[in-house]
Amino acid sequence: MRSPESLPGLVVLTGAGISQESGLATFRDAGGVWLTEGIENVATPAAFRRNPARVHAFYNARRAQLAAVAPNAAHRALAELERAWVARGGDFLLVTQNIDDLHARAGNERVVQMHGALRRGRCLACREVLPVAGDIGVDTACPRCGKVGGMRPDIVWFGEMPLHMPAIMAALDACGLFVSIGTSGVVYPAAGFIAEVAGRARTVELNLEPSAGTPLFDEARHGPATEVVPAFVAELLA
Ligand code: APR
Give 5's pLDDT tier (boundaries 50, 70, 90): low
User: 2 or 87: which carries more pLDDT confidence?
Assistant: 87
> Residue 15 phi/psi, 5° resolution?
-135, -170
Could you tell me the end-to-end alpha-carbon distance of the chain, in angstroms, rounded to an integer? 23
pLDDT of 6: 74
Q: Which of 56, 75, 103, 115 is catalytic?
A: 115
Report CA 209 to chain centroid distance, whole Å: 19
| Rounded mean pLDDT, 12-41 | 94
Average pLDDT, the chain: 96
Residue 2 CB coordination number (10 Å): 8
- Ligand 1 proximal residues by C-beta, below 6 Å: 15-17, 20-21, 26-29, 32, 97, 115, 182-184, 187, 207-209, 211, 224-225
Which atom of ligand 1 has the smallest separation from the CA of 225?
A: 1
pLDDT of 150: 94
Give me the amino acid identity at 238: A
Does residue 1 have a pLDDT over 70?
no
Rounded to whole angstroms, how far apart are CA atoms 131 and 154?
9
Nearest to 197 by CA among 171, 167, 172, 169: 172
